[in-house]
Every structure is written in C-alpha cells, then in structure tokens.
Amino acid sequence: MKTRTARMLAMMMVPAPFALAACSSSTAPDNNAAAAVATPVAADHAAPAAAPTPTPSSRPSPAGSPVARTDKSDVLDFSFTYPAAAASIPALKAVFDKRADEAKAKALADAREDRKTATKDDFPFHAHYYHADWTVAADTPRFLSLVGTIATYTGGAHGMTVFDSLLWDKQAGKVIAVADLFSSHQALEKALRSRFCAALDRERAKRRGAPVEHDDDPFNACIDPAQEIIVPTASGKGVIDGFTVYVAPYDAGPYAEGDYRISVSIDPAQLNTAKSK
C-alpha cells in the first residue's frame, strides 16, 4: 500500500521520473533484513568455522563511529549518514549500506536521464541532490529506533523533504515493523489515532492562528497515522512508551506549513509486552 508521502511525491515530480527508493512505510518490515543478517559484512567479522553462532545482543548499542558517505558530481550532490549506534551492529550496518548504495544508484541514474532530456529539449538542467540523515530516536536494551530525514531535489520548483524509520530488534537481530510492537495493525491504529488527531489539530491551529474547522477541506481532516512514518520513542525508562508521527509536507497541510512531527504517549499496556521490552 502506498503511503500519503509516496502519493504526494508523485504529484511533485518533474517530467524526468524520480523514485525515492530509500523512503518506505514504517509499518512494513525491511525485506532486505533477513539477507543482511545472514551475510557477514567482511571476512574479519565472520566467526571461525568451529565457533557457535553468537546470540544477538540485547544490551544498549555499543559505542562506535558514525558513517557519512558523500559524493558530489556535476549532476548529483549525494550524502547518506547514519549514527554510530547503527554502525556498531554489523548486520544493521549492512542494511544501511545496502540502502545507501541503492539510493545513490537510483538518484544518479535519474539525474543523468534528466540532464539528457534537458539537453535534447534545449532546457536548462539543474543538478539534483539527495541527502539522507539518520539519527537515533530510542535506544533501549531490546530495540534501536532510528528516524531518517531525506531531502531531495529533482529539478522542479523546490526540493522535498520526507521521512523514514527503522526499528531494529536486537534480540531477534533483524528489522521489524512498528506494528509488531502491538497485537495487530488495528491495535496500533486504535492506540494512536484519537491522541494523534487531537495533537495534530492543536499544532495546525498554532501554525494557522485559528482553530481547525472540520469541513470539506482535506487539510482540515484528520489523517490516518498508520499511513505516515511512525517512530517509536522512549522516555528514559528503558522501554518503548511513545511514538512520534512524522508527517511530510502536503499530507496534513499546504507546503507552506512544512512538515508535522506529532508526539503521542501511550499506555504501555497497549503494547504486546512480549515483544516490546
């Protein structure tokens, strides 16, 4: 199912197509996670043949060095960064490196095609950019939650910023869906929707300088938080006990209002406690 962000990106595209490969719904698991976990990052990370397979750590992520990949050419300014907490877990590092490779290849191919078309049609070409910056949203004994801010420009009137999320289960050693923290997808929506809608309207009213009127204007209606980017957070008790819903421009208001970042606390009893600790 396409998210609101994907639909709005399609409306913003210039004739040269540009698919934002790195942006995906937070409610769907990473299809590459299993392969990334099973494949060693490098030979020096592999255990000797006689050694038993190590159990994934459930401790907070160890210290390490953040990763910053940059490359600038006459057609594309590319950067992809992720924090030390992710880089220190080899299987998770492999997931991010694969995403960076795929995002760069796609962005570069689209930029070259755009320049080719512009040259053919005698239009000015404006270099593209793709900047992905991942940060830690929560680091508990069981989970590492990360949020990505992805800024792109593909030659149109202005750039676009969207968001992504990744939830790493240290015990299982893989990426999981946010919905996996609940008994069902319906339980996720039920836990968030009413509080999210109220908080969204308060923020809209603050930015607009007037109360929100629930009429036929789609920018006044509540939106389904499950269709946006949901990032698990922790208040400091060592467990997931809240979420921030990242809403891209155009999803809940006009472009001039920018993005919305709505924090929602939850009753821990609403989580599937077998999976959330």
Kindly state which CATH superfamily the domain 4-41+57-177 is placed in.
Answer: Fervidobacterium nodosum Rt17-B1 like (3.30.565.40)
pLDDT (average), residues 27-36: 38
Query: Mean pLDDT over all residues of the chain?
Result: 80
Token pair for 229: 């980017």
pLDDT above 70 covers a percentage of the chain that reads: 75
Q: What is the pLDDT of residues 147-167, one digit of tens each?
A: 999 999 998 888 988 999 999
| Full-model pTM | 0.73
pLDDT (average), residues 180-199: 90
Q: What is the pLDDT of residue 12?
A: 41
Could you state, in order of their start, the residue ranges of all structural domains in the chain? Answer: 4-41+57-177, 180-276
How much helix, strand and coil, in percent to the nearest 5, is found in the chain? Answer: 35, 25, 40
Flag whether pLDDT at 31 surpasses 70: no
Q: What is the pLDDT of residue 102?
A: 98
φ/ψ of 215, rounded to 5, equals -125, -150
Q: What is the pLDDT of residue 106?
A: 97
Q: What is the pLDDT of residues 222-249, one digit of tens each?
A: 999 988 999 999 987 788 989 999 998 8
Residues 247 and 228 sit within 8 Å (Cβ to Cβ): yes
Token pair for 204: 């809209």
Q: What is the pLDDT of residues 57-84, one digit of tens each?
A: 345 555 669 999 999 999 999 999 999 9
